[in-house]
Structure 1
Amino acid sequence: MLVCIGDVVEDVVIWTDAPLHHGTDNPGRIVRTRGGSAANVAVFAAASGAPTRFVGRVGDDALGRSLEEQLTVDGVEPRLQHLGRTGSIVVLVAPDGERTMFPDRAAAAELADVPADWLAGARVVHAPAYSLLDGPIGATTRELLTAARAAGALVSVDVSSVDLVRRVGAEAFADLLRAIAPDLLFANADEAAALGLGTSSALPGTTLVLKAGAGTAVVLAPDGTRHEVAPEPVAAVRDTTGAGDAFAAGYLSALLDGAAPPAAALAGHRLAARVLASPGARLA
């Protein structure tokens, strides 16, 4: 089973028809959908056939209950705390597919006192870096990852955001990763550069998976083995929201099925391609 720890929120996705004009109307399309990096990975992995559980917190409100129901419908086993106000993220998507995000995590960042049995049966436990830092969720997630490793599960972390690395500081962020010592670390080129990553020796014992969007993904094993895996062509890209999460989900799902790194990376590419034409983190 794959267990994902982190945020489940509402994404308010705004597709603009033209470059943004300040101080006036901007025609566009608005879609509300489930979001949150960890929840995205859980939903996408479930769509790939992997047994998946999501651990997080939503508000004690109608939106939180709706998001919980959506996770269940999507084949994910939700283990949620209900307290406070459910979070939302406004995602502004330009015509070229580039995103600008305005997160309000609200209750999601307050995850605490998680029962140990919420990790029962986990073979891989995944957390985006958002889950490791801000608010009570940071200490909670780090404790859960330690418990997961002690129980024999693999630990997976996604760097998630170059802005996050810069706000925390590259050295402090690297120290956190060294303390967690994940078995798998996902990062894009900007995130890896900000952390000074690029060789498997940067984090001993960690397999580094470098995502590259439409470019070639690189998997660097702890023993120095390097795999380069190019994606298959994608006809059109309208919204990249959730593509990195889909890549991680495809990779981890394939890993659970026993796939070698090249096949796992190809599975990640294929799943990521399915979100590029839909508003928000949704599979076409």
Structure 2
Amino acid sequence: MTDQLQILCIGAALWDIIGRTPAPMRVGSDVAGRITRIPGGVALNIAMALVRAGARPEVLAAVGQDPAGDALVAEMAARGVGVDHLYRAPDLPTDTYMAMEGAGGLIAAIADVHSLEMAGAKVLAPLRDGRLASDAVPWRGMIALDGNLTVALLAEIGSAPAFARADLRVAPASPGKGERLLPLLKRPGTVFYVNLEEAGLLCGTAFEGSVAAARGLLGRGAQRVLVTDGARDTTDASAEGLVTLAPPQVQAARVTGAGDTFMAAHMAAEAGGMDRAAALRHALTVAARYVAGGPEH
């Protein structure tokens, strides 16, 4: 992996506010734990993981011109993430994600990404006006895309010439927004990273495991998919065949950001020349280390 490899990460860059406790929780629980505020959002999580892998990621996102936004941009730059092409919204607040984790699992979460949605096409401007690319000179590298963008914007990415040559890697923002990705499902050169629930939403059915889900998505027109199923098998599927591996078994210390860590590690591994099986094994190992309490960001 070379530090000269530039990868674009498009989507949410925000503050994660996460409460964690080792105790079991239910509705109405009031328990002791730790509350942290760290940089987050799908696009930024992937970018920070790519920095650790030796890449040079650039984030395209909407960040407010408020104190929270100034602090976030400074923290992103300090962590080695490119911030030159952020859209600094003068009239919108910086977005926030809030999650509660108990006994190693996610209890509930709320994603306030209204500023990203309202900024719309302004986030993509550097890829249309020549700063990074244009319709005449399309982007030819990897792009990590999260599903927090509006349906209209995802459709634009799927059809605009500026994106036609990109190696597009796509992740839903959450299962509830998975259906937003349908305009990209049959786009050539697109790789989807989804969990079992998200695969079911995209296909309109429930699957028993990652193999069935991956085959279902290929049947819907996807060219390549990676389907995770928590601590069970993960499947990488394309017309070339299926690769299915089980992740290392670890005691979960956290879950928020695990999928983004997996995606970034897999992208970095393939950019570095690993074959499909080796890249999948590497990504599962990195994600398991993260879930077990390894490097936060």
Quote the residue 1:155 is aligned against.
168
2:246 equivalent to 1:230: yes
Indicate which of 94, 98, 104 corresponds to 1:90.
Answer: 98
Please, what TM-score do these two structures have when normalized by structure 2?
A: 0.80
Once residues 214 and 118 of structure 1 are traced to their aligned partners in structure 2, the CA distance between those partners, rounded to angstroms, is: 42
Q: Classify 1:159/1:24 alpha carbon distance in 2 versus 1 (closer, same or farther; 3 Å).
A: closer
Q: Partner amino acid for 1:6?
A: G
Once residues 25 and 237 of structure 1 are traced to their aligned partners in structure 2, the CA distance between those partners, rounded to angstroms, is: 21
Indicate which of 6, 14, 37 corresponds to 1:9.
Answer: 14
Give the superposition deviation at 1:164.
Answer: 2.2
What CA deviation, in whole Å up to 9, does each residue of 1:127-146 have, x standing for no partner? 12222x3xxxx434543453
What CA deviation, in whole Å up to 9, does each residue of 1:133-179 have, x standing for no partner? 3xxxx4345434534433x22111113422224xx5xxxx5642336
The answer on whether the counterparts of 1:125 and 1:148 sit within 8 Å (CA) in structure 2 is no
Once residues 30 and 92 of structure 1 are traced to their aligned partners in structure 2, the CA distance between those partners, rounded to angstroms, is: 9
What CA deviation, in whole Å up to 9, does each residue of 1:17-42 have, x standing for no partner? 53447668432211111110111011
The answer on whether the counterparts of 1:162 and 1:191 sit within 8 Å (CA) in structure 2 is yes
Quote the residue 1:30 is aligned against.
35
What CA deviation, in whole Å up to 9, does each residue of 1:2-21 have, x standing for no partner? 11100111111111353447
Q: Classify 1:74/1:144 alpha carbon distance in 2 versus 1 (closer, same or farther; 3 Å).
A: farther
Unaligned residue ranges in structure 1 (runs of 5+): none
Quote the residue 2:126 is aligned against.
115
Q: Classify 1:24/1:162 alpha carbon distance in 2 versus 1 (closer, same or farther; 3 Å).
A: closer
Quote the residue 2:197 is aligned against.
190
The answer on whether the counterparts of 1:181 and 1:203 sit within 8 Å (CA) in structure 2 is no
Quote the residue 1:253 is aligned against.
268
Question: Which range moved further: 225-234 or 105-114?
Answer: 105-114
Once residues 265 and 21 of structure 1 are traced to their aligned partners in structure 2, the CA distance between those partners, rounded to angstroms, is: 34
Quote the residue 2:86 is aligned against.
80
The answer on whether the counterparts of 1:210 and 1:218 sit within 8 Å (CA) in structure 2 is yes
Question: Which range moved further: 239-248 or 156-165?
Answer: 156-165
The answer on whether the counterparts of 1:47 and 1:75 sit within 8 Å (CA) in structure 2 is no
Give the superposition deviation at 1:272.
Answer: 1.1
Q: Classify 1:43/1:88 alpha carbon distance in 2 versus 1 (closer, same or farther; 3 Å).
A: same
2:282 equivalent to 1:270: no
What CA deviation, in whole Å up to 9, does each residue of 1:93-151 have, x standing for no partner? 112322411121242223333122454465111212222x3xxxx4345434534433x
Question: Which range moved further: 141-150 or 60-69?
Answer: 141-150
Quote the residue 1:69 is aligned against.
74
Q: Classify 1:248/1:22 alpha carbon distance in 2 versus 1 (closer, same or farther; 3 Å).
A: closer
The answer on whether the counterparts of 2:214 and 2:236 sit within 8 Å (CA) in structure 1 is no
The answer on whether the counterparts of 1:13 and 1:92 sit within 8 Å (CA) in structure 2 is yes
Unaligned residue ranges in structure 2 (runs of 5+): 1-5, 134-138, 204-212
Quote the residue 2:234 is aligned against.
217
Once residues 181 and 161 of structure 1 are traced to their aligned partners in structure 2, the CA distance between those partners, rounded to angstroms, is: 23
SS of match in other structure, 2:54: coil
Give the superposition deviation at 1:59.
Answer: 0.7
Please, what TM-score do these two structures have when normalized by structure 1?
A: 0.84
Once residues 181 and 82 of structure 2 are traced to their aligned partners in structure 1, the CA distance between those partners, rounded to angstroms, is: 32
SS of match in other structure, 2:270: helix
Q: Partner amino acid for 1:129?
A: G
RMSD over equivalenced CA pairs, Å: 2.5
Question: Identity of paired residues, percent?
Answer: 25
SS of match in other structure, 2:65: coil
2:151 equivalent to 1:129: no
Match runs of 1:15-54 below 5 Å: 15-20=20-25, 25-54=30-59
Once residues 68 and 238 of structure 1 are traced to their aligned partners in structure 2, the CA distance between those partners, rounded to angstroms, is: 28
